[in-house]
């Protein structure tokens, strides 16, 4: 489920939504880092509680796709490549896009409610934790969709993920928590007609 054995061409063909999101991450990072004036994308898209409170609601969405540096972007993209494909197949393209976006939005709204008025944030981990929320729901309530070994992988990753969330600096703890809760809350609807990934 989480071991990738496909070559590049097969991966792109099999998981077009995951591929598109990763390409978008790379493209936005490149524009912000190397294109003259590209930093304006970061300034206009970063999650800013102050600006959201002044009506710039698009930041709740745009911040999901922006990253603070190459390492940040690479880590989140790698996480998506590992954990996104199985859900893209199980849920289908439309539901996968919905859970990714809605989960990220829930996480960022949670950040807006809980964090201070001048809080800044960005990164796709908000949406990725929503995917983990779907997996956690499967581990607890839909054991027909996930085997024991992969259940153990998910629990281990969540424990490590939350340890990093708590002990690593500059991590949006609120987004991770609300993303996980949002994904788990949406799971019963999203998994209604899901079939097991093999």
Would you call 134 helix, strand, or coil by DSSP? helix
CA distances (Å), 105 to each of 52, 55, 154, in order? Answer: 13, 15, 22
Given a contact cutoff of 8 angstroms between Cβ atoms, the answer to whether 61 and 111 are in contact is no
Catalytic site residue from 124, 125, 126, 174: 125
> Burial letters for 182-195: b for 16+ Cβ neighbours within 10 Å, e otherwise?
bbbbbbeebbeebe
Active site residue 125: yes
Closest CA relative to residue 190, chosen from 57, 114, 100: 100
Catalytic site residue from 25, 67, 72, 176: 176
Which amino acids are annotated catalytic? 125, 176
């Amino acid at each position: 489920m989480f071991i990738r054995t496909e070559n590049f061409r097969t991966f792109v063909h099999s998981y077009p939504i995951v591929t598109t999101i990763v390409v978008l991450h790379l493209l936005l990072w490149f524009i912000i880092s190397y294109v003259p004036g590209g930093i304006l994308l970061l300034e206009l898209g970063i999650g800013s509680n102050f600006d959201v409170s002044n009506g710039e609601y698009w930041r709740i969405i745009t911040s999901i796709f922006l990253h603070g540096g190459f390492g940040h972007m690479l880590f989140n993209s790698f996480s998506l490549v590992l954990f996104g494909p199985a859900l893209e197949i199980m849920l289908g393209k439309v539901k996968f896009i919905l859970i990714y976006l809605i989960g990220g939005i829930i996480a960022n709204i949670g950040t807006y409610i809980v964090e201070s008025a001048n809080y800044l944030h960005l990164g796709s981990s908000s949406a990725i934790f929503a995917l983990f929320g779907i997996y956690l729901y499967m581990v607890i309530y839909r054991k027909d969709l996930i085997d024991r070994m992969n259940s153990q992988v998910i629990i281990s990753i969540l424990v490590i993920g939350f340890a990093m969330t708590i002990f690593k600096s500059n991590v949006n703890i609120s987004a991770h928590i609300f993303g996980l809760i949002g994904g788990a809350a949406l799971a019963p609807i999203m998994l209604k007609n899901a079939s097991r990934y093999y």
